[in-house]
Every structure is written in C-alpha cells, then in structure tokens.
Structure 1
Amino acid sequence: GNLKFEMHGHKMHGKWVLIRMKGKGEKQEPWLLIKEKDELARPNTEFSVIDEMPESVSALPMPGEQKPKGRARKAAPAEEAVTPAVQTATKAAAKAPATAGAKKAVAKRASAMPDEAVKADLPTSLAPELATLVDKPPSQPEDWIFEIKFDGYRLLARVEGKEVKLFTRNGHDWTHKLGSLHTAIFKAKLPDGWYDGEIVVHDEQGKPNFGLLQLAFDGSDTAQIVYFIFDAPYLSGYDVRDVPLEARRELLATVLDKAGSDTIRFSAEFGTDPEELVLAACKLGLEGVIGKRRTSRYVTRRSPDWIKLKCGHRQEFVIAGYTDPQGSRTGIGALLLGTHDEAGVLQYAGNVGTGFNETTLKDLKKKLDALATDESPFPPQAVAGRKHHWVKPKLIAEVSFAEWTSSGSVRHAVFQGLRADKPAKAIGREKVEHVEEKVKTTPTEPGAPEGKLPADFKITNAERLIDEQSGVTKLDMVRYYALVGVLMMEHLKGRPVSLVRAPGGVGGELFFQKHADIGKLPGMQQMDPELDPDHPPMLEVGSALGILSAAQWNVIEFHTQNAVGKGYETPDRMVFDLDPGEGVAWSAMQEAAQLMHAFLDELGLPSFLKTSGGKGLHVVVPVKPGLDWDTMKDFSQAIVRHLSSTLPDRFAFKSGPKNRVGKIFIDYLRNGRGATTACAWTARVRPGLGISVPLAWDELAGLKAGDQWNVKNAHTRLDRGNEPWTGYAKAARSLTAAMKKMDFKAGS
C-alpha cells in the first residue's frame, strides 16, 4: 500500500508519499518515504536538511506553540533510523511554505504547455524510448532522476477521445488482453495522448512479481495489474517529445493526479543517490534502477539518456530446446538457451534448470511439444551431447544468472518466466556500456531504427540525409537493415540478388547492379559463373552482414530472382505484381488482390501476399521446380490474360501508363529469366522509404496502403515478422494440374 500526505513542519514541507515495501528477513516492514516533485522540492546539492538542520524537531516548537525549555534531544543518526532508500529519498529538502500567490503561479505554469511543445495530430503508432544497460551510476547524479525498474511488461497506451488502445513495445495490440486496464484508463478520462509505462502485478509483500504477471495473463485475470506511467510523449494535442524530461513529467504528474486511479499510477522519482538506491532496491528484491537525464528529450530508440542499473544479471533468451527430466521431475529437465549474434545467428548460451514449479513444467512441456523439430537451431556442434529435444526458436525465457562464463554461457541460471512482448528474432546478448560514453553517430530523428551494428562496423557519411520526407539518414538506413536482417535473410538465401544503389538518396541518380566487386562487400558472395556464362557472376547475400555491407555501399533496395542458384534453370516461384494505374482507389487494389487469390485457389495454387513498399501489392506462388523459365513466364501471362479478358474494366493486359488509367496492371514479366522482384523487408527508393512486408490474407481488409510500413515504423511489424508466410515452402505445388484446368500447353 501507499499513503500520500502533505506536511507543513519545520523541516519538511509539501507533498510526500509513504510506500510499503516488505522485504524478506526484515524484522519490521520497510517503508520508502519519498518527496514528491512539487514547487517545494529542492535537489540535495542545493540544500541538505540533514546537514543544515541536524537538530531534532522535538526541540522545536510546532506552529502556534512556544519553544519548550530545556536541552534539545540529539537526533538519531540517519543510517540507524531509516533504510538507505528512505535516507536517499528524504535528502530532498523543502523550502518555506509558498504564498497563495506563488501557488497559483505554479499551478498556472503546470497547466500551460512549455515552449518546446508543438501542436500535432496523435500518431497511430509510436516506438518507445529504451534504456541502455550501464556498469556504474553517472558521475553527476544531480543531472539525473532515478526510478525503480519494474519487473513487468512495457506498455504504451494511446488515448484519443473515447478510444483507448494498449500496445507492447513492439507495437502489438494488447487491448483485448487487458480489459480491466482498458476500462480503468477509459474511466480516468485521461487527455488525448500516448502514455508510456510498465504493467506489473504486486505480490503479498507489495513488490512487483513477474511470475504473478504471467499468471494473470495465463488465467485471463488481469484485474490485479497496475500500470505505472513514467512518460507521455504526446499529450493534450501536443507533441511534447522535445520538452525536457522534468517538464514532461510535471505535465504527466498533474494529469495522473487528477485521474485519481489506483490502477494507473505515476512512477515516482527516488532521490539523487543512485548507489544507495540500487543497494536498497537489491536488498528489497527489486530488479534495479532506471536513470534518466533531466534535460533529455524523448527519442524513439535506445538512448544513452536513459540508463539501467541492474541487481545482478538478468535478460531474455531464446529457447532452442530442452533436456529430459531426471528423478521425480516431470515435463522437462533444463531449457537450452540461445541469443542472436551480430550476424543474426542463434548461438548457444547455456542451460537453465531451476526456477520451475510443477505447473510451469507442465505448461512449458506443452508449449515446447507444439514447436518440436528435428533440427538444432544452433550451428553444428554448438551443443555437446545427443539427448536434446529441439524446438523452433519462438519462445523467450527471462532468466537471472550469476555471471557469463568465458565460453559465453550463463552460470547459476534461474528461470523467471516466459515473455510474450518481444520477438525472438530481436533477442541478443545484452551489452554493458559506460554511462558517460556518447555515440557520435546516434540518430536524432524520432522513430529512428534501433538495429544493433557489429562493434567494428564503420559507416561513412553517417549523417547524410537519405530521404527528406522522413528525415532518415544513412546511419538510420544501415540500422534499419540491422533490425530486419535476420528476417530478410529468409527471403534472400540462395537467390541471385540485384542491388539498387542511391548515393544521392531519394530523388538522386540510381544504379541497378547485378554484379559487383565483393571485396568491398563482406558477407556478399558471387555465384557460380556457369549459371549465366555470358555475364559476370551474379551476386548472393551470404549473411546478414552482407546486407549491412551493401547498405554502407549506399544500397537501399534488394531485388531477388525466382530461382535459387542450385536449380537456376527451374524457377521455384511465380510472382504477380499488382500495379495500380492513375485514379485507382485503394479499395480496388484490395479487391483485385482478393480476386487474384481466389482465382489461384481455384487452380489449386496456394499464394502468399506482401506489400510492395510502393503503391502496389505482390502475390507470390511457391512452385515445385521442374519447368523452365519460358514456360513459367508464358503460364503466368496466360493467367493475367484470362483475368484481364474476364474483367476488362478492372485489369489491363498491356503495360504503360496510357493503357491502365483507372485499371490495374498485373505484371507477369517478373517471371522471366533474370527478372527480379523487390525482396520482402527491402526499403524502396521513394519518398517516405516504404518497405515490402509479408502479410496474411486476412490482413488485407485492414491494410491502408502498399507503403503502410516504412523504415521509421518497421518496429511495429517485427512481432509478426515472417509469421504470415508460415508454411510457404511446404505449400509449393506442381503447375501441371493448374495448366490442365486452363487448357494451357507449353510452347503454344
């Protein structure tokens, strides 16, 4: 519980809060006494009540009383009277009570928007600011605020009128999962805005408990969830990201104070002595402390202005498999853990065999059985022993551990729970940085991608503007490809690739290259020259590093052919590019794609959908290799001719702007030998830098445009990743039966 009150004493003035934080082994319940941020608060560097007024208040008169005679009783030492956290929290002393006029002035300032605030529409999506893990507190802690690091899920709330939506840090909509919280926010009548915070469930001792949070979701009983809000990047019709942190928090505190909700709470500041605060947090079994620079703006990426000081080691791992249980244990023995390296390869990170109960073991076994596979997700010989059960690397475990071994494995690991708010592809080994280090090439634009780059990867002209409309720089572009590289490799692997270089950015001169000197492009490789003997060797992206090397070489677009190198003369897919002519409404594009899907289904051909990143859509048909290039192209042409002759008011058979005014051209020319199609997850050299994204067919109705996702909002799609194309390889069909249905004969 907590108790808020206002004091008008000799030493302490203004608003305070007592928070009960029960700790194991404590003789008495520990309480945190916190000075709330109000007009009476002062930093310890400005005035220390302990140093300036050490005498006991029992020797001083209360307001309206006479000072008692006799010697004052000596005050007890602070460290004997309170816990370190309480001592830290109470070092912020109070001024003399403000006059009524001063209080009105403060209230007026709080209600007015700061100069840095800009009138703006509420965006439909928002990436959160993320904290950097550091090895020690900052050298000037007075420049920072410190909050408790909550053991929960990051959550962003979007409030617009009567509509409330709740999103994970990766943009996944969890509104339907959090009915009680949705209702609480709705009833609180918060102003329009984006609210950033953490959801937790408290245990009987009043501490956030990640396991209880998981149980709340598993049992669909989320009524006990509390939402601690610590920032509001958009508020009351304003973009306040450029407003300094302290001022943003003052605005937020005013809003939440008016809301008066026990479910929605303001994340309080805990003094300016981070070392003592971390010690107190660890003693109480909390996860650690978050530090934030007081003058910092809100940026939608990982930032050195937000730091994490953890109690021990704790992070997320991908579950790659498990061992058999021993003795009386049921379900599983230990989980096999992994993290992705900088090239996107899953590397073994050790085992965790403690922290489970019977319920957890049974639940894990059920979930792991559904993901069973015969292939190890790790590189060959990465894990010693044979009695391992492998699973598809989809689940994420949060694990605490004592240390990393020299071989890159965790020691004395304890399972804390499963996480459902992050994509497995994004899990890597968390690196500790020095808090004072400043990354000179840190992007400054809101929404910049967060992809991690290899430590020794060099980017030339990092700040060069690529796209004026979005503000994306070359560094942002490279970081985007670091973010999606693993996803992209699933579509690039083994295929000839063509590169679109744009040294001058969007609007500048473009260079379409099928061949290049790979000496300048680590991770890129040349294919067998015999595949295309009359030309230089074609290119192939060998690893995610190759994508980054190409991006450093000013490549923005990646295009792939319809065959892999090992079977180049027999294509394994057929592509239809739906390209709208002038005056075609988006609803017509959606209908056209559905018609294409239905017709292919009638032919017995499964098809998969993706955005083009531009104005159109791509429909891709996986095919069992066997037909040559000419036959594939001719059959795709026959399909398009049939659709355009059946529905001539919708589809144009001939290309060219004049032939498709008000119509859609289904481009079958992508199926010729050497022809290419924009790869999934590639950016496009167009204003806004749209990207090509895999979709499920049931998502088509809600799609707003072919460039709905772009380099700056790609993070909102990472939780789906390539999942909409699950089963793509197994869906491949021979075209023989479809050709018979259309009475198509090769070479006719």
Structure 2
Amino acid sequence: MPDSLKVYKSKRDFSITSEPAEGGRPGKDALTFVIQKHWASRLHYDFRLELDGVMKSWAVPKGPSYDTHDKRMAVHVEDHPISYSDFEGTIPEKQYGAGKVIIWDKGTWEPEGDPHAGYRSGNIKFQLHGHKMHGRWVLVRMKGRGDEKQEPWLLIKEKDDYARPAEEFSVIDEMPDSVKNLPMPGGSARVPAKTRATKNGRAVKAKADAAAEEAVEEIDAEPAAKSSGKRATKTAAKTATKTATKTTAKTATKTATKTTKKGGAGSEAARDASLPAGAVEAKLPKEFTPELATLVDGAPPDPENWVFEVKFDGYRMLTRIENGEVRLITRNNNDWTDKLAPLQKEIARMGLPDGWYDGEIVVHDANGRPNFGMLQLAFDGSNKADILYFLFDAPYLGGYDLREVDLVDRRALLEGALIQAQASSKVRFSSEFGNDPEGLVVAACKIGLEGVIGKRRDSKYVSRRSPEWIKLKCGQRQEFVIGGYTDPKGSRTGVGSLLLGTYDKDGVLRYAGNVGSGFNAESLRDVTARLKALDTDKSPFPPRSVAGRKHHWVKPELIAEVSFSEWTSAGAVRHPVFQGLRSDKPAEGITREVAKSIDEVAASVAPEAAPEPAGKPARERTGKRASAVDQEPVAPAGKLPATLKVTHGERVMDAKSGVTKLELVRYYALVGELMMEHLKDRPVSLVRAPAGVGGELFFQKHADTRKMPGVENMDPALDPDHPPMLTIASVEGLLSAAQFNVVEIHTQNATARAYDKPDRMVFDLDPGEGVEWHTMQEAAQLMHAFLDELGLPNFLKTSGGKGLHVVVPIKGGKDWDTVKGFSQAIVKHLATTLPDRFAFKSGAKNRVGKVFIDYLRNGQGATTVCAWAARTRPGLGISVPLAWDELAGLKSGDQWTVANVHTRLDRGNEPWAGYAKAAKTLTAAMKQMGYKG
C-alpha cells in the first residue's frame, strides 16, 4: 500500500462503509481518471487522476466547465486507491463523506510534459478522453502560504475545439447521470456539437474581456504628455486614470482634462464621445448660481448611496475660467477676483480647462484645521496666512455642461483635470471623507471641524438649495446680523458683546441673544473698528425686545458667524462663540436656520419620486404632508392585538414594480414570522424611504419608538457612548416600521445577550463594474470552499440587490476587533491569492471587473440587510436564505422580490436549517491561517 493512502484509510471504518480500502490495477496502456458526483453535506464533484499507483484527488464544488473563463475551485484532498474509481454507492451516516456517490465520468488522461514535475510545481496540464470530459485542461495551485492542509487549486478548461461558453453549454447540467455501466471510452468526442456563438455567447464575452484588458492597460499606462510638454508623474497619472469615472479608465484621460492651457469647446477633449451620460456640449454661461446644502438632523443616510466630504469652515467660492481668464465669484455673484489676486494667479498658472468650478476657500491654523476667523483676517492684510481652495464639483468643464451627469462622474472628471494640470499646493481636490457618516460626524467634531457634507452619488447639479446635498453639523452654527454691542468690562477693550438678530418672514430683525466669547485681540480690534463706523441712535430691533439700557446700536449690515449649543425657548442662542465676520452674504437674507428632520427632507422630493394619484386636491399635491385621511387597515400576521392603520397606502413605493405602500406593509405581514428568526434580540438600523425608491433615503440607528409599537429601545448600557439602539421585538414592529416608510431593515452581528461578543461573521460579495453574474456565483463558491477548508460552517443568502451574502455563525466569545480583524485576514488572503477575481480595497475604481468582499460589515455598529427584508432598489428585491446547491441555478441577487415572494415562501428558512447549532469557535480557523489577532 502506498504511504500516501494512510490518510485515506485513517478517515474510514471499512467495517461500515462499502468504500474500498485499497487495491486496483493501474491502467494498461494509459493513465485513468474518474469524476465522482458526491452528495455529501453539500454536492460536489471529486476529480481523480491516476499517478504513482494512486488516484490524486481534488474536490470541485461547482463541477467542471467547458468555458475557458471559468476557474473552478478544486480543493486538494487525500490520495485514494485506484480501486476507488469503480466505487458507486452510498457512504453511511456518521462516516467521513457520508452521502450518495455516482461515477459521473471516467476515461483516460494524457499529461503534457512531466506530470510529477507539474504536480510538485502546482501546474498540471493534460488532455482528457472520457464520456463527458474531452480536450485540454489544467490544474493550477493557488498561491498561498504553502502550509494549507487542503491546498486550493483551480480547474480550468484550456482553449481548444471543445471549449464552449457557459451561456451555451453546461456539461454538469446537460449530462447529470452515471456512466458506471458504460465501457471505458476511446478518444472520440461525445460532447454535443458546438453552435455558433450568439449575442450572449463567446463572441460577446471575448469582446467584453478585451475591453476589460484594455481598461486594465489604460489604468496601468502613464498618460501621454500634454500638448504643452508637461507630464504628470507616474503615480499621479495612475491616480488620475483610476479615479476618473465609474465606467472605464479611458474617460479620465480622454475627456475634458486633456486640453490646452486655454482649453475651450474646440479642444480635442471637448469633442470626445466617451464622456459620461448626461454631458452635453455647451457654451460657458456668464453667470452661475451654485447648489446649496440642506441642514438636517437625525441619523445620517445610507452611506452606500452617498458621498461624504469635510464641511469646510470657509467661504463658498466659484471659479469661472474661459480662454485663460480666471474670475473668482461668491455664491451671491459678487466678483472677488481682486480680493483673491494671489489665488487667481495660482489658478491661471495651473492651466485648468475652461469651466465653472465649485469649491470653498479656507485658511488653516497651526494644527492644519480650517479657521474661519483667520480667513476673515486674511482679506484685510492683517494675516499673512495662505488661502487654500478646495474644489468639490465642476458643473461645466472643457466645453461641456455636466449638470445632468451623476455627481461621482463629475467629481471624477474634476479630479482628473486637477491631476492633468500643473500641481498646486493651494488648489486641492476635496476628497471623500470615509463612508461611515455617523462615525465621520463624531470624528469631525473631535478634531475641530465644522461637520460633514453628504451628497447623493447619482445626484445632478441644481442651482438651488437641494435635499440631495445635506449638512451634518457639529452642534449648531449659523450667521447672525449684528444689531448692536455692549461696553467692555474689566481689562477688556473695544466691545463687550455683540447683539445678534435674524430676520423673520415679515422682514423684521428679531433679537437672538448676545455673544461675547471667541474673540482674540486681533479680531476684537477688527470688529470694534467696523462697528464704530456703523453707529446709529436707532435700534434695528422691535421696541423693548432687548433687555437693558446701556446698548450701542449699529446699522444692521455686518454678519457674524456664531456657534452655539442650542436655542432657548425665548429664541436666543445658548453658549454662543464668535467665529468671525462674513462678507459674502447680504445681511437682509439672514434668517434663523432650522434643521429639517429626515422626514421633511424626504417630503421635499416626494412629489417627483412618488406623485400623488390624479384627482387629489391641488393643495395636497404641493409636496406638503397630506392629512391621514386615506388610512387603510392591515390585518397583521401572527397574534397581534389589533389592526394597523396605514396612511397613504396607495402611494407607489417603487415605480418599476408598481408596489404601493400598503402592499409593502402586507408583504412584511406575510414574511414577518420568517424575519423574526433573524431579528430576535439584535440591534437594527432602519432605512426609511418616504418618497419611495429613487427618493431620499434615511439610515436610522436611533429613533423615537413611541409611534412604532413593536420597535423598542435596547438597554442603553449595551452601548453607553451612543443613544439607545433599536430592536424589533415582534411582527407588529415590522408593520409599524413599514407604516413609517421603512423599507430596509438591517441587523448587527451580535445580540443583546452578549453585545460585546459577535455571534456571526458576514461577507458581502459586491460586483464591480463589468462583473457578470456567473462570476459572482463562482466568487461565492470560492468563498464557500475556502471557509469549508477552514472548518467554518457558512450559509448563503441573496442580498436583494446585485450581490450575495455569506454568513458564518460563530461562538466562543471573541470580541468585535478580533472578529473583524480575522474577517479582514480571510478577505485579504482570497484577494491576494486570486487578485484577478477579488478586490480587497473598497471604492468603485479598485474593483472594476472584480468582486469586492466587504468585511467591514463585521465591525461594531456595522449592519447587513436582514434576511427577507426588501431593498430600496428598483423592483424591491428581497434578501432570501439559500442552500448552497441552489447557487448554480440562481439568476441574480434580486431574483425574488416583494411582488414574487410567493414563489419562495414554501421553502422559507429551511435552507438554513441547523444554522444555530452549526456555530463554531474561530480558534482553529485562526490557527490554521496563522492569525494571532
């Protein structure tokens, strides 16, 4: 008996199983192969090649494919005796590999070159002559540490006359049966004749692959020198092309960025047809009004659909460039070119394309933070600090109107233009500020920033205040009109405090309190001088509205920027701090800035996203909230005590499917009991869509639960640094949440019983641009095989969107950081091993043609959409639990929707039977990977 069979024999009790212990004759004239279809805990195909008196063996989860683009995972397992090639039967329960086995194919194989050398090096090329398997194939060992107990290999079909596109032919589906009773085949082909490649066949696939290769070449290539003879550095060039657009890298270098110093519509770039959708050739307008952000309170929106940037503590500034002439314009159309002469000269030097650029000017303090007071002083020459200009948008660029282009594409073109231009330390691109809005606001406040700006990724540019750009501020802060001042006290000179006011809707200046802190000697002198020049005997406020007598009144022309903790019931600011004077806005336009709630912001876009049905009174079609006159009862599922009143039940929540709000509530009543198995005791986040799919979305981890029966606040002690988390305690909670326009429900990876110890890991497989569905299926299978190799049970579900989720139940009390760190190590290993398949870094530019596995879902506070929850995407796809053997037949990540869920309800949660008992500790898997935490 060969020594390599010791492992095989040690795993089996031959008094119980009918598998052969040893024996078998080597092939007389040729080496033999066999492929056995094996229904063990999960269906797979055991591929065995005769070599050195044994059958070298690999477990292929998805089975072989005749498509040369399919790289099928093949896990190297122990050698088997040659006699095993004749085994067909059922391995008994509690035996290794228990389950049914058939001989799916058999025949002979011819190695190309020395098979021993190929086996040692991890690259075995060969030809197969079987009933089903023909032509040239290769087994390639994946790169790893080399100490894996079960090495991951890939089984790949090589290009020859037998190769077939997967869309045209699947050998495992079309030839599923046993060949045990058939004689050993000769060399003739038994595969069905090839058909001509169709639109969905190999020709299209080859064209797509060629485009992908071209994009990769474009990404790696250094841009050609500009007509002026200037060349960006290699690093900068890569950055430019990699971030240019979400479509192809070509757009970055072939659009509005390759212009001459003067640029203009006549340049080569301006005529390029590869600009993103929405770009139209247009002359540069003489004047332009910028888009303004809406101040909001409540939880930030879903980061998946939003870009977040630093909220700069400065002045909004537009730049108009035409034929080399640079003008700097404020948001109110005041020309500040002369005030900003050094900046104007710097922009002219850079050689940017013609266009309207949008951004903010700031001055940094000694700690590198924007300082509004220092910016104000920089204008009067009393401060020598450099003014920096952060650009974040380009509504016009290189002869094109980009206002109808998606935000992410406009920003990409802007970034590309800046990189192609002469480098500048004073004019900079406003980069994305991470993707966790709640954490970003906290971080921004801690380091002294003003807050965070959020913008919808697909938003167009509009010249007005928009709910698609939002402000998330640290505390409260706004502009006030200065109506007077008080005398200084003690050793202070100049003024004591400023009397603040805002205009009401009738144009009356209402008193809003005093501010006396936040001044330094320099700002105090400046403010005093300006106020003395505006002294008047008449109060700008209504009579008797300002208490006290010793006030000095001034003409209401100066504007102060003031931060404060809150408004008092009397309408005055509490704990105010002076930040600086503003001169970029008219005083008569200063009103009390009231933060809109999440609902109000959503309602402002509701008329477009979810129009009221015809026949409603005009006053109800204005975008304001209609009264709850059209309530409709829903009989809740289960044992709920009463029916639920649904307001605006006829509102269309999704234009694609036509599903109404009432139908969505009924859907959650239908799947409520199934969902509760996945929701029990878990913190949840709610994604609200008051305007339906395509409207504003709001991601809430904390909420007032008084109006949502069945939605409860969790124990504040679970997460003492934040407001109480939410949990859905009953099906009633699902329905009341849906009544409040909740579409998506996300859960965290721990329960209330042990919130500091996660009980699962989640891997979110997200396709990059250009990734086809069969590649997603293969990626999930690779992830499945690798987790199996680590001994970690794993379960599959659709995401309800474009991707798939792989969930690993765990136990053993590891903390959040350990679990997240280990999940990162798993993803990094796969991305390093198969870099052409998997992306480790997030961001669309890093995953073109690849699958991104998001491990960040495993951090504390992070969430994943709950099984059976709907998604706020066209069609209202739902997240559905699957068995692994269903993956091959799955059509998409949103195959099941709110509208067709009835076709899946018969299976329910059955594919995840045994989930709770399957949990294992991570210790052995961590040890196997060499991960120490």
TM-score, normalised by the number of residues in structure 2:
0.37
Structure showing greater Rg? 2
Q: Which structure is higher in RCO with an 8 Å CA cutoff and minimum separation 6?
A: 1
